[in-house]
Structure 1
Amino acid sequence: MTAAPRPLDVASWPRREHFEHYLTAVPCSYALSVEVDAGAFVAALARSPRKTYLAQIWALATVVNRHDEFRMTLLADDRPAVWPVLHPSFTVFNPRRETFAAVWAPYDPDFAAFHAVAAPLLAEHADATAFRPQGSPPPNTFDVSSIPWVSFTSNTLAIENAWRHLAPIFTLGRYARRGDTTVLPLAVQIHHAAADGFHTARLIQEFSALLADPSWVDSRATPL
């Protein structure tokens, strides 16, 4: 059962005015595209039987679940609230049909435990013909998609009438070589009512730190 989101104490919330401005006066989202140094991460996965895509998803989910601003939602009366946990919803490509399915897995702060649940989903739904083969996801999910055929330096989603969608949306690209290292393209789309540039920059920095020290890839002692 999904735990209910926790309403924010708006009166004492430092971002109250920012939230109200970007939710009602100037509704907007913004996108940042970056190249994250993934050299150590790629090397660790090359030595591991675990799946790179799921490691990327877990690292994103870990930093999302550290911060209230990336787990925000709106209650029926438009009051801001924070989910106790946000689970990743991610794409699985069907090469035969050239379509993808969207599946989700419960987030676990232990990567090994998350991988054990999520890896069978990739195999089970590799030939899926339905867009959501598991049915509708729980409301406390965020989206991750992958475009592993191309490396990009910019990516923007044009989402019509999405002014109530406060959860972040991530897009991953193909690895690219930059000098002596490998980089991972990452695009983040976020509602400005939920988070400012400072918060998104911190999320990207923390994601980068997880990739720079991938000791968690083959360990059950994962960083919090």
Structure 2
Amino acid sequence: MTRDMNFVPIVMENWPRAQMFYYYTQIAPTSYTVDVRMNVTVLRQTLKQRGLKFFPAYLWLITKVMQGIDEFRVGMEDGVLGIWEQLTPAYPVFHQDDKTTSLLWTEFEEDFSAFYENYERDTKAHGDSHGVLTSKGIPLSNAYIISCIPWFTFQSFSLHNHGIKDYYFPSFEAGQFVKEEGEEFMPLSVTVHHATIDGYHLKQFFESLQESMIHPEEWL
């Protein structure tokens, strides 16, 4: 069997999380959700100045930050557990005509401008197609779910996956921006599987994400 070079199988005997993975998948299957607020003041201002949309920047940033944390990229491929070098954001597109959504995905690019162009291309070509999936088809094996509820903000959001087997990627949900004392904040909810991600890894993620939002000039 030829395996994607971007997918590295995990050798359980050498994996520090092997016992935790077994416990949280076989003995006490556990997922959990953490809700935080991200300061998006500088990011939104910079994007507006450059005439860029927030949503594709949100997709790119989340995916980019996960690239630096192995535990966020653990998944299954052909029944084998491993770590993907890179994940692909899969996100809903909203249809104004019937108020439904369809799942679309865009291949990640290290260069933000290249990803932004891919996003614009995908939404233009497939954004109007209805159904559970858009006309682009089934997401890639390394796709994770990321979404946004733009109509209201929240303090807590809980995602229930009803026991989807062998799915370990995190899922993300953002909410409407909130203005407080001249700054803007975005609620962000992250649902993870305890077999692969602990609180420490979330700490790493949130700190890195906030830093990237404060300094968009480093990647725009």
Same fold (TM over 0.5): yes
Distance 2:78 2:103 in 1: 26
The answer to whether residue 131 in structure 2 is matched with residue 130 in structure 1 is yes
Q: CA deviation at 1:76?
A: 5.4
Q: CA deviation at 1:44?
A: 0.5
Unaligned runs of 5+ in 2: none
Look up the SS of the partner of 2:34 in the other structure. strand
Aligned to 1:149: 151
Residue 204 to residue 182, structure 1, CA distance change in 2 (3 Å): same
Task: Please tell me the residue identity of whatever aligns with 1:158.
Answer: H
Distance 1:85 1:31 in 2: 22
Residue 61 to residue 2, structure 1, CA distance change in 2 (3 Å): farther
Task: Please tell me the residue identity of whatever aligns with 1:100.
Answer: T
Unaligned runs of 5+ in 1: 220-224
Residue 211 to residue 113, structure 1, CA distance change in 2 (3 Å): same
Distance 2:108 2:123 in 1: 15
Look up the SS of the partner of 1:201 in the other structure. helix
Alpha carbons 1:23, 1:163 under 8 Å: kept: no
Look up the SS of the partner of 1:200 in the other structure. helix
Q: C-alpha offsets along residues 52-93 of structure 1, whole Å, 9 cap, x if unaligned?
A: 10000100000112221111113555x531112211111111
Aligned to 2:64: 62
Alpha carbons 1:3, 1:84 under 8 Å: kept: no
Alpha carbons 1:28, 1:163 under 8 Å: kept: no
Q: 1:158 aligns with which of 160, 167, 175?
A: 160
Alignment of 1:16-27 (within 5 A): 16-27=18-29
Residue 93 to residue 216, structure 1, CA distance change in 2 (3 Å): farther
Q: 2:36 aligns with which of 16, 31, 34?
A: 34
Q: CA deviation at 1:16?
A: 1.5
Aligned to 2:204: 202
Q: CA deviation at 1:216?
A: 4.5
Distance 1:19 1:80 in 2: 11
The answer to whether residue 113 in structure 2 is matched with residue 112 in structure 1 is yes
Q: C-alpha offsets along residues 89-115 of structure 1, whole Å, 9 cap, x if unaligned?
A: 111111111011111111111100100
Task: Please tell me the residue identity of whatever aligns with 1:190.
Answer: V
Residue 39 to residue 163, structure 1, CA distance change in 2 (3 Å): same
Q: Please, what TM-score do these two structures have when normalized by structure 1?
A: 0.91
Task: Please tell me the residue identity of whatever aligns with 1:200.
Answer: L
Aligned residues with identical type, % of pairs: 25
Aligned to 1:222: none
Aligned to 2:9: 7
- Runs ≥4 in structure 1, deviation > 6 angstroms? none
Task: Please tell me the residue identity of whatever aligns with 1:48.
Answer: R
Distance 1:49 1:99 in 2: 27
Q: CA deviation at 1:2?
A: 8.2
Alpha carbons 1:153, 1:185 under 8 Å: kept: yes
